[in-house]
Structures are given as structure tokens and as C-alpha cells.
Amino acid sequence: MRVRRTQLTRRTSGQRLAGRRRLSPVRAVASVLLAGALAVTATACTSGGDKGGGGPAWQGGNEAEQKPKASAAITAPAADAKDVPASAEITFTSKDATETKVEVKNAAGETVEGNLNGDGTWLPEKQLDYGTTYTATVTATGDDGKPATATSTFTTMAKPGKQVRVTSFLGDGQTVGVGMPLIVKFSRAIPEDYRDDVQRRMTVKATPTQEGIWHWVSPTEVRYRPKTYWKANTKIFYKIQAGGLPMGDGYYGRADLTVDIKTGTALLMTVDNKSKKMTVTRDGKTIKTIPISLGKKSTPSSSGTMVIIEKKKETVFDTMDDPNPENRYITDIEYAQRLTWGGEFIHAAPWSVADQGRRNVSHGCVNMSTANAKWLFNQTRIGDPIVVKGTETKLQNGNGWTDWNMSWDEYVKGSAIPYKPAG
């Protein structure tokens, strides 16, 4: 079953019709002539005994304003509908209403928590139960204070057998770098014409507020980044209301997903191939400059903006499957921080200390002394950004978390729904 959102428009209180009656042209002329006659009479009787001075009671008065009555209607789910997806939202219209309320209850009379959106929809806090009857009531109240109501009783579908699992790379309580994208994956490819529905159920709340957008990396993965790096110490809550949501070919979302994380300090790394140095800043202040060695000409490092993907205090680099015999080796490595899927890391390289700050001798990694690698390892978090400048090769998008290697205009093109600038 394909459920599509209906775009709704509600008339605001500012659009109400004034209820004031108007005089006909004939009656208006007569009123003017009569008013003139009365004015002449009053002028002529200055010495008379008329002490009232108020004139007829109706002269100059306004007739009572007729206040419009509010109305309400529920457009979905339809009354008595069966097999409604558990992701169902209530869509409605209201007219001439100064206040609109939506209430949803199950068969036991228990209220379902939810949120009223500005586009004529109400969305439950979590997916509805399967095989359960609910009643939605929309109440619209106008200027006259009299409420108008609309109701719809519907029943959700049985639990589907074909479900899509939704997972997040990050988990509750993590502290990440200011370049960390929010990464959500699906256990099955989401058809292109369903991605807008899925994305509308994906919300991000950042404190302080920051503009951002979701970007579909592939049919099974979508990421979110702000317009600029996250601000230091930002609290981030994101919610994927996928439970019971149709996802194409008879598949439905398995469950809702929520994640609560935060960013740390704004630690940034900049590598300049010309100077052979890395500059490390925290919250805008330089805290260290480190001599480095990048990839030699046959195995150059990538220029672009990357973020730290993973950190390993001790690991082994094994490149014995490299087609070029000169690039095959097995080496114990300390303080390794991955930058690309292609194998570029920041790591300790005690064998190249004499070259660091002078020339490039690595296989594409950012080499530094063991002491400097250890110091940096203890400063960084997953998601901290690093910019490499001036090498022979440009970073390929997709070779790592390259969300920041794209301009904002490029990034918004990956959204399944039109981008609306903040403000």
C-alpha cells in the first residue's frame, strides 16, 4: 500500500470575511439627504426648547459584526479505514479557526501523544500499535467561541512480515568532533520515489540551533550535516520515525530510532604540503604545529576535507595484496587515525622522522613522530575534520566521510525533498 502526503492549506484568522452589512446605493443617498435636512433644522432652532441634543437613537451607529463560524474536516485516515499503516499521521483542514486541536485515542480511551505541525498534519510521538483501532478528533474554534469537530475512526494493519531495519552509526551518549555527519543506514534499498516520505520522518534538533539537511549517499544510506561545522559543545538529538512506514515493494519500517549525542570542542587540523606541517587549532586558537611527511609522487596523499573515521592505538598495516610490489609491506603501527577507505591515515612513523617537515616519503598517509602522533591521538575524536592542501591528487567523494568535501550547494542536491533556507 502506498500512502502519500496530501498538501493542505488552512485559512488563518487573518483571512476571515468581515460580517458587516452594507447599505444599498439608494438607501445610502436617502440617508445623506435626511442627514442634511436634520442639520438645517437644527441650525434654524437655536432658540427653541429642544434640550436633548442627541438626535435619533440610530443616527451614526454601527450594526453588529457577524463573526464567522469555524469548520473542520479530517482528510486521512478516512473514517472506518482498515489496514492503515502504523506510521499513520492525521491530515486535516480547518477554516476560520483561531485555535485547532487534534486528539487521538485508542479503543481503551487512552490518549496518544503527538505533535501538531503547521502544514495541517498531526504526527504521533511513536508508531501506532498494529491491529488496533483509533479515533482521531479535530476541534476548530472560531472568533465566536463555538467549536466545530470532525472525527475519524480507523484500524491499523497487522504487523507486516517484510520489514526494513534502520540503524545509526552513532549511539546515545557519544561525544564527537564538529565535522561528524549523522549516518543512518537501511537494511534494504529505499526506492527513489519513497525517499521523500522517509526523509520527512527524519528530524534533527540541535542546541544551539543550526541549519542542516539530509543527503542520500546511496539507496541504503543517508547522512546529515549542518551548513558549516557543528558549533562546539552542541547537543544533538535525531529521530527516525520509520516504524510501520511504507518503504516500497510491500516493505515497512521495522521500528523508530532515536539518538542523543553531543559535540566536543572545535578541534581542526590543517596540513600544508608546501610547508610539510600540520597546524592544530582548538576553538580558533593554534595549540600545536607538527612536522609531517605526506605521500611520495608514486603514492600521493589526497587534497581535500576529511574527518577522522576511526582510531586505533595499535594496529598492523598489511598491503601484501597491492598489485605494485614496491607498495607491499606488513608493518606494526601506533596511533593510527583513519581518514579514507582507501587507506590514508594519520599515524606514528618513527622511520621517517628525518624526512618530516622536509619531504614526502609515505604511501599516502600523514606521517609524524611517535611523540607527536601520541599527543594528537589524545586530542582528537571521531568526526574531527582535517584539511589537506597542495598535493598532486584531489580527494574523491565517497572515499571516506567526504560530506565536507562538497560545497553546501552540492550537498543539498542529495536531499529527497526541496531545500528551504533557514529564515
Mean pLDDT of the residues in the chain: 86
pLDDT of residue 91: 97
For range 265-271, the mean pLDDT? 98
pLDDT of residue 300: 96
In a domain, 42, yes or no: no
Residues 142 and 115 in one domain: yes
| Closest residue by Cα to residue 406 from 305, 291, 257, 313 | 305
pLDDT of residue 68: 83
Residue 62 covered by a domain: no
Whole-number Å distance between alpha carbons of 357 and 272: 10
d(CA 296, CA 303): 13
Return the pLDDT at 139: 96
Question: Is 376 a domain residue?
Answer: yes
- Weakest-pLDDT range from 138-147, 188-197, 311-320, 352-361: 311-320
- Specify whether the backbone of 207 is left (phi greater than 0), alpha (psi in -120 to 50) or beta: beta
Read off the C-alpha cell for 35.
442627514
Round to whole Å and give the CA distance between 35 and 24.
Answer: 16
Domain boundary among 229, 245, 264: 264
pLDDT at 15 over 50: no
Q: What confidence category does residue 299 fall into, taking pLDDT thresholds of 50, 70 and 90?
A: very high
Q: Are residues 257 and 175 in the same domain?
A: yes
Please state, as a whole number, how many other Cβ atoms lie within 10 Å of the Cβ of residue 212.
21
Q: Does 38 fall in a domain?
A: no
- Residue-wise pLDDT for 122-157, tens only, equals 999 999 999 999 999 999 999 988 999 999 999 999
Same domain, 173 and 93: no
Q: What CATH code is carried by the domain that includes residue 109?
A: 2.60.40.3780
Average pLDDT rounded to a whole number, residues 88-99: 94
Q: What is the pLDDT of residue 269?
A: 98
Domain with 260 in it: what CATH number? 2.60.40.3710
Residue, of 2 and 184, whose pLDDT is higher: 184
| Identity of the amino acid at 386 | I
Look up the domain containing 208 and give its range: 163-264
CB 243 within 8 A of CB 127: yes
Query: What's the structural domain count of the chain?
Result: 3
Residue 367 pLDDT exceeds 60: yes
- Stretch among 18-22, 210-214, 269-273 having the lowest mean pLDDT: 18-22
Last residue of a domain, one of 117, 136, 155: 155
375 and 299, same domain (yes or no):
yes
Residue 36: its H or E element? helix 25-44
- Contact between residue 332 and residue 325 where contact means Cβ atoms under 8 Å apart: no
Same domain, 277 and 395: yes
When comparing pLDDT for 69 and 163, which is higher? 163
Asked if pLDDT for residue 162 goes beyond 70, the answer is yes
φ/ψ of residue 273, rounded to 5: -65, -30
Q: Assess whether pLDDT exceeds 80 at residue 320.
A: no
Same domain? For 189 and 252 the reply is: yes
Residue 65 pLDDT: 63
Q: 3-state class of 398 per DSSP?
A: coil
- The residue among 155, 186, 215 that closes a domain is 155
User: What cell was used for 266?
Assistant: 572545535
Residue at 418 is within a domain: no
Judged against a pLDDT cut of 80, whether residue 11 lies above it is answered with no
**Low-confidence winner among 55-69, 114-128, 340-354, 399-413 (lowest mean pLDDT):** 55-69
pLDDT recorded at residue 318: 77
Per-residue confidence (pLDDT) for residue 324, from 0 to 100: 76
Beta strands in 193-326 (DSSP E): 202-207, 212-218, 221-226, 235-240, 252-253, 257-263, 267-272, 277-282, 285-291, 302-307, 310-318
63: in domain: no
Residues 6+ apart with CB under 8 A from 374: 334, 335, 348
**Which residues are part of the catalytic machinery?**
347, 365
Q: Residues 274, 397: one domain? A: yes
For the chain, what percent of residues have pLDDT higher than 90?
Answer: 77
Q: Are residues 271 and 260 in the same domain?
A: no
Selected residue with higher pLDDT from 423 and 190 = 190
pLDDT-derived band of residue 84, with 50, 70 and 90 as boundaries?
very high
Same-domain status, 230 and 273: no
DSSP state of 179: T
Q: Which pLDDT score, from 0 to 100, does residue 56 have?
A: 42
pLDDT band at 423 (very low <50, low <70, confident <90, very high): low
- Which pLDDT tens digit goes with each residue over 24-81? 333 333 333 333 333 333 333 333 333 344 444 444 445 456 778 999 999 999 999 9
Q: What is this structure's pTM?
A: 0.80
Give percent above pLDDT 70 in the chain. 84
Residue 46 belongs to a domain: no
- 191 and 310 within one domain: no
- Looking at the fold, whether 236 and 281 belong to one and the same domain comes out as no
Task: Tell whether the model's pLDDT for residue 200 goes beyond 90.
Answer: yes
DSSP-based three-state secondary structure for 291: strand
272 and 248 in a common domain = no
Q: What is the CATH number of the domain that holds 278?
A: 2.40.440.10
b/e string for 309-337 if b means 16 or more Cβ within 10 A? bebeeebeeeeeeeeeeeeeeeeebbbbb
1 lies in some domain: no
Q: What is the band of 6 on the pLDDT scale with cuts at 50, 70, 90?
A: very low
C-alpha cell at 70: 469555524
